[in-house]
Structure 1
């Protein structure tokens, strides 16, 4: 029985056959396909360390944050199997996605379109695992393998010295806030609108940290409670 093009794409991705990948993509093969194992072509490429295949699939729109049935993303698989080049390619894709989403969010706020925080997200149930935050559709909102990205955000905002005041809008898994805490700031304010995320913050002891101020609510609604800051991170789900 002849295999479907998407199955062939998964095989080519695992083998790192860049020419075959390019031909299949040019013919319209879906890079977001999940095979019988629940794996996408990008996951196969990442698992086997095929960095060039990873780049080609990402360029074709393969979802970098899709999850396998066992809850692993392409980034998790690359990291688990110590494929640094593939991991770096996926991390760069995550950085670019954050930049694009940040630009869109800023444009929406400037134009008065949308709520900038996703009222639907605030109303949805979320689920936490050891290394992921997932929405009500079991899509990954944040994953632990993105920690280097969060650390880069914190470094850019906080600089090399201590002191100062920083605002982060959106706690998520707390990755960026954990990184911010290493800089021994004078004040670290976190705005979080999701009730389940907020409750988890309190259970983890964030409300007991001496330099941390937690403000519950959508940032648009709590502006009167905010002050002036030396740095701001508009991370929402981070």
Structure 2
């Protein structure tokens, strides 16, 4: 009986029958139900472009970020099929949820204890990559063209440049080609820092190396014409926090760019 109720909700959502959706939810139908295709009622409504049904399901607790077997969310289904109104509702729901969760997370982390797992971890270096102890790539050589493009952008004004996160030194090598007046590099991992010194980065005339987490060395920083941010072992909140300091760190008209591996999917 319960399964029939869930299937009825799926069908009503798929067909855009708002009244029936409302009635089924009131009778206890589960808005989080996944059908045989691995889709939720919200995904069906989004895929077929029924914004009012999408809103009703969201207001009733349907998860906006649930994923299908092919790693698509309701928002992906709406966008793929050109249903902008349904997509906008889902986007706003996601933004609202992230703002609330972010506020909670910042409150929970108010004691200021950082996540230092990566900094206490060993890393291994080879010609084309830096790996952590879990065999996850800290940086790889295929990133070189991307780093060169970032360097070109942030060095377009010349002047003083800041890079947060050395890694393999790809972006810093590219930055040096533009001969900035000064080139400040923040690196927090002790082994990466030691390797920087062994390979001569500390001897370059225009290079200043600042060892430590960027959060701990802000008082040592000045203002810059170009800034690049590419840390490892940090999350959205860390980057968000760094962005709060950009008005002070970046000169008027300066250029900021960043790179990260935070995206939850690689398709598209």
Shorter-chain TM-score tier: 0.5 to 0.7
Inter-partner Cα distance in structure 2 for 1:42 and 1:77:
10
Structure 1 residues 25 and 118: CA distance shift in structure 2, 3 A: farther
State the Cα RMSD in Å.
Answer: 3.8
Structure index of larger Rg: 2
Match of 1:230 in 2: 247
**Offset at 1:54?**
0.4
Match of 1:203 in 2: 143
Match of 1:214 in 2: 164
Query: What per-residue deviation string (whole Å, max 9, x for no partner) do you get for residues 94-137 of structure 1?
Result: 11112112211221122x2885x697xxx9xxxxxxxxxxxxxx
**Offset at 1:71?**
2.1
**Offset at 1:213?**
2.2
**Offset at 1:201?**
9.8
Match of 1:56 in 2: 56
Whether the aligned pair in 2 keeps the contact of 1:207 and 1:214 (CA below 8 Å) is no
SS in 2 for 1:199: strand
Whether the aligned pair in 2 keeps the contact of 1:47 and 1:74 (CA below 8 Å) is yes
SS in 2 for 1:34: coil
Match of 1:33 in 2: 33
Query: What per-residue deviation string (whole Å, max 9, x for no partner) do you get for residues 42-97 of structure 1?
Result: 00000100100100111112111111112221111111111111011111111111
Contiguous gaps of at least 5 residues in structure 1: 124-193
Inter-partner Cα distance in structure 2 for 1:118 and 1:37:
41
Structure 1 residues 198 and 56: CA distance shift in structure 2, 3 A: farther
Q: How does 1:7-22 map to 2 (within 5 A)?
A: 7-22=7-22
Inter-partner Cα distance in structure 1 for 2:163 and 2:136:
18
Inter-partner Cα distance in structure 1 for 2:116 and 2:82:
35
Inter-partner Cα distance in structure 1 for 2:141 and 2:30:
39
Inter-partner Cα distance in structure 2 for 1:54 and 1:70:
20
Calculate the TM-score normalised by the size of structure 1. 0.55
Q: How many residues align?
A: 162
Q: How does 1:68-147 map to 2 (within 5 A)?
A: 68-110=68-110, 112=111
Structure 1 residues 198 and 107: CA distance shift in structure 2, 3 A: same
Inter-partner Cα distance in structure 1 for 2:74 and 2:12:
16
> Relative CO higher for 1 or 2, CA cutoff 8 Å, sep ≥ 6?
1
Inter-partner Cα distance in structure 2 for 1:30 and 1:118:
40
